Amino acid sequence: MQLARHQHGKHPLDKGNPDCGDFQTLYTDLMTRTALRDHTVVLIGLMGAGKTTVGRRLAASMNRPFADADHEIECAAGRSVSEIFEDFGESAFRDGERRVIARLLDEPPMVLALGGGAFVDPETRALIGQKAISVWLQADVETLATRVARRDTRPLLREGNPTEILERLLETRQPAYAQADIHIDASAGTHQATADAILTALNARETQA
């Protein structure tokens, strides 16, 4: 798993790629040449927003590594997120989450998907503000509820009606999420379309800078 993050390809123009003139390559090249290359792009938002899937696609488009914070926490703890909640409780999970994210933010620029609660932590949010560009994947609760119903891996959603829990979480977390640098509508469209929208927003931000 460690390997996968560092296995990303070289710069597209270094590969002797015969397609290097095509639009995608030029676009990727533009992105990697800009100052954005110095920043990790962090994806935040509620459970079901698509952070992991969109993040993988975004990382591929930007030709950089991808990491999923929950997955890294699971590796570090040798347990699933559910098991960490069961065995040690949520506050131990949050401590581990804070430490793992701090470590990942010190690695070379990547696309990093966070668990839904991570950006609510003031320390994590401040660190991301200093070291990364944050992107909030926004989606309505109905869409999120449909998506999270596909997997039973989220301990917080087992405590009651998932739609009601998501509504409550959105209400309490919105003020923190709203502090993200970029807000993207991730309700409709494919994950690839969302990744493309993020790329466009990052590029626009860079042009303005």
Question: Which stretches of the chain bind ligand S3P, using CB under 6 A?
Answer: 47, 51, 70, 81, 115-117, 154-156
CB of 208 to ligand S3P, least distance (A): 30
Residue 28 vs 138, nearer CB to ligand S3P: 138
CB of 81 to ligand S3P, least distance (A): 5
| Sign of torsion over alpha carbons 43, 203, 105, 173 | negative
DSSP 78-114: TS-HHHHHHHH-HHHHHHHHHHHHHHHHTSSS-EEEP
Helix, strand, coil shares, percent, the chain, to 5? 60, 10, 30
**Nearest residue to the partner ligand S3P, using Cβ:** 115
Task: Write out the E strands in 39-85.
Answer: 40-44, 66-68
CB of 109 to ligand S3P, least distance (A): 21
**Measured between alpha carbons, how far is 65 from 73 in angstroms, rounded to an integer?**
17
Residue 81 vs 199, nearer CB to ligand S3P: 81
Residue 62 vs 176, nearer CB to ligand S3P: 176
Residue 65 vs 116, nearer CB to ligand S3P: 116
CB of 50 to ligand S3P, least distance (A): 9
